Structure 1
Amino acid sequence: MKAVTFTSILALTATLSACGSSGGPTGGNPTYPESSSSSNTPSSSTASESSSSSSVASHCDTMNTVVGFASLGAGTTGGAGGNTITATSGTELAAALSAKGSSPLTIFVDGIINADNSSVERFDVKEMSDLSIIGVGSSAMLDGIGIKVYKSDNIIIRNLTIRRVDTGEKDGISLEGPANNIWIDHNEIYNDLNSDKDYYDELVSGKRDIDNVTISYNYLHDSWKTSLWGSSDEDNSHRRITFYANFWENASSRMPLFRFGEAHILNNYYKDVSSTAVNSRMGATIRVEGTVFENVQNPVVSFYSAEVGYWDLADNVYDNISWSNPADGDLIAGPGADLSATISYTPSYSYTALAGSETKSHVTAYAGSGKINECLPTP
């Protein structure tokens, strides 16, 4: 694995400077901060401030580390080393994307973007490279409008709230290949369950030849159709996706629905899932590790496709899970109370897993938008 460092190219706030990093991504293993005991804490204010600064730096190093497949190849650095621009309306965001050119670019989204201040039905990241879209603070939102990444590489999307997308393809964030080295991190994406199940589409999804993608620290909730990878049983590209430290809550199915390729579901937290969580199909190979399933029906299965998918399981926590056959009776594989692995698989990158017993508290503390403002670059 090649470690890639986000160079210090943006003027950061004093708080971010205290992190001891540029607020951008690095590739490699995160180092989780350890608590200091009172007996080891220096008594002087200077030593105390130094310890606090060190703790913040360690925290930010962790949150700005790209874990998983997006760290492979040339890494995922987005708009590092390029210009910056701030968009306060959908018209400005669309214009910035349209004018991007070949140089790296970071677009900061500041405020609420919706149909009233936009001239497009979705924001296209098309045929471009080296781009970051980063929400400012705790209130950057795409309200009713989503993002599509197509024929693009080295793309970062962080710290946005995206909700109830009812225009364009009705996806929160969608990827369509050819596309590679995409990092979708610390966003909140949701629909609602009061609508018809087909009114909205996916929260985050991908199809065709996508590779080296990491979906991390997102809060994904209130959705019928949540995360589809592979649009049909004929969409046989060998996708490689890491789902790391995401919080999936109050949703029906597809978390993810994954066809072909490889996926690593590392330290995720599932809560209140009514139909299926992980659905491995058409020969997909998935490792589910250090993950918590709480009040979940069918946590890991292979339903609805002509061929089964496979899974490896390690150090997961199951709390009040249940099993049921598919509604149409077409049971392919699972469910089974023994939750045995059907394949042995380890992804092709180095990583450090949290223990399954620690996942819930970690994910609920940090997943979603507005959770790591001190670690992000600012305009």
Structure 2
Amino acid sequence: MSRTIPTRRWWLPAALAAAVCGSLLGITPGQEGAHAAAPAAADAPEGFASTEGGTTGGAAGETVTVTTFEELDRYATASEPYVIRVAAAIEADPFGHEIRVASDKTIVGVGTEGEIVGGGFFLNEVSNVIIRNLTIRDTRMSDDDPGDDGYDYDGIQMDGADHVWIDHNRIERMNDGLIDSREDTTNLTVSWNILSEGNKSFGIGWTDNVTARITIHHNWVRDTNSRNPSIDNVGMAHLYNNHLQDTGSGNWSRGSSNTVIENSYFENVEDPYYKDADASLVESGSIVVDSDGRQETGGTAFDPGAHYSYTLDPAGDVPALLQGGAGPQAGIGT
């Protein structure tokens, strides 16, 4: 295992940093701007993970580089903060194991080298965690389990977590959820990921409370069946600039959720966006092509720009942006 000597960094709260960068670039909350190419990956989250002090992961601790499952598990479960660079394709042992990530951790793939094969991560009642630039794949079982009910092998599962940023990952072919955000997990941003080739893509809820605050932006969800995402009892769910392609369902606002969808692109999607009777769903600026079924809005929602600064890309630009910019990137973690 190799180590790097930690260097001193100066950190601004994420919300302040976003405001300063936006000012320098002439960006205002909710402003639309076309990009000729996929933008460079941000160093801090946009969305609810940037609020209430922000999400810095293991920035206060040592940086280590791991190439084995034992090393990854040791540092990810430690009580101290760490930035953990994953520099190899690491096979989970035992198969299907979800590493119990502790608070104050950054787990980041080195360029496109970092993979978790046959396992995933579990964030249980922890806070301040960043998972970036990884490929998490292949817990799908060969036996007959069409509903993915026989094996609870998630890509990333969160129960009661707070301040989490899931960014630029590729999560595919898992035997349960690609991402599950459960039991009031809040101040969560899920951005620039590719979620593909799964039955259950992204489930949110498992609670009677309506308190969670979640931002989901610039994700490419393709070749999945259900939960794209399924948003149950979320106090504020902000979805923008996502591309759903060849999916068996769309964005579902369930229970008493309050959902805002902006400038997304729905392509060959069954029921692109829809709501339960007691839920709110407000949509604007999206494009729907080659899709059938429900496109439902109703109720009143919230103003995301009152909580954080963000930039909307035109919906028509989203597929090209995500083809180049979603998933693991060579320039992250190096």
Q: Where in structure 1 do 4 or more consecutive aligned residues deviate above 6 Å?
A: 21-25
Please tell me the residue identity of whatever aligns with 1:176: D
Please tell me the residue identity of whatever aligns with 2:105: L
Report the equivalent of 1:66.
45
The 2-side partners of 1:364 and 1:25 are apart by 30
Kept after mapping to 2: 8 A contact 1:24/1:377 = no
Shift of 1:308: 3.6
Describe the SS at the equivalent of 1:362.
helix
Shift of 1:139: 2.3
Match of 2:224 among 226, 251, 267: 251
Match of 1:93 among 65, 68, 72: 72
Report the equivalent of 1:281.
254
The 1-side partners of 2:140 and 2:50 are apart by 32
The 1-side partners of 2:210 and 2:90 are apart by 34
Match of 2:63 among 84, 96, 105: 84
Report the equivalent of 1:111.
88
Structure 1 105/146 Cα, relative in aligned 2: closer, same or farther at 3 Å?
same
Describe the SS at the equivalent of 2:177.
coil
Please tell me the residue identity of whatever aligns with 2:257: A
Match of 1:190 among 139, 159, 172: 172
Identical columns (%): 31
Report the equivalent of 1:209.
184
Shift of 1:23: 12
Match of 2:215 among 217, 242, 250: 242
CA deviation vs aligned residue, 1:57-112 (integer Å, no higher than 9, x gap): x954x5224110000011011111310112211111112233x223x211111111
Unaligned runs of 5+ residues in structure 1 are: 1-8, 12-20, 35-54, 193-199, 324-334
Q: Does 1:364 align with 2:323?
A: yes
Structure 1 340/237 Cα, relative in aligned 2: closer, same or farther at 3 Å?
closer
Unaligned runs of 5+ residues in structure 2 are: 26-35, 142-150
Report the equivalent of 1:171.
154
Please tell me the residue identity of whatever aligns with 1:190: E
The 1-side partners of 2:75 and 2:44 are apart by 27
CA deviation vs aligned residue, 1:124-152 (integer Å, no higher than 9, x gap): 01xx3221001112121111101001111
TM-score (norm 1): 0.73
Report the equivalent of 1:196.
none
Report the equivalent of 1:316.
286
Please tell me the residue identity of whatever aligns with 1:259: D
Shift of 1:341: 4.2
Please tell me the residue identity of whatever aligns with 1:171: D
Structure 1 146/184 Cα, relative in aligned 2: closer, same or farther at 3 Å?
same
The 1-side partners of 2:300 and 2:138 are apart by 37
Q: Does 1:354 align with 2:333?
A: no
Describe the SS at the equivalent of 2:320.
helix
The 2-side partners of 1:139 and 1:319 are apart by 35
Describe the SS at the equivalent of 1:129.
coil
TM-score (norm 2): 0.82
Match of 2:300 among 329, 336, 343: 343
The 1-side partners of 2:10 and 2:67 are apart by 24
CA deviation vs aligned residue, 1:231-264 (integer Å, no higher than 9, x gap): 2xx5425111100100011111111111112211
Kept after mapping to 2: 8 A contact 1:147/1:171 = yes
How many pairs does the alignment contain? Answer: 304
Please tell me the residue identity of whatever aligns with 1:88: T
Describe the SS at the equivalent of 2:180.
strand
Kept after mapping to 1: 8 A contact 2:99/2:120 = yes
After TM superposition, the structure 1 = structure 2 runs for residues 323-342 of structure 1, keeping only pairs within 5 Å, are 323=293, 335-336=294-295, 339-342=296-299
The 2-side partners of 1:10 and 1:361 are apart by 37
Report the equivalent of 1:16.
none
Shift of 1:169: 2.9
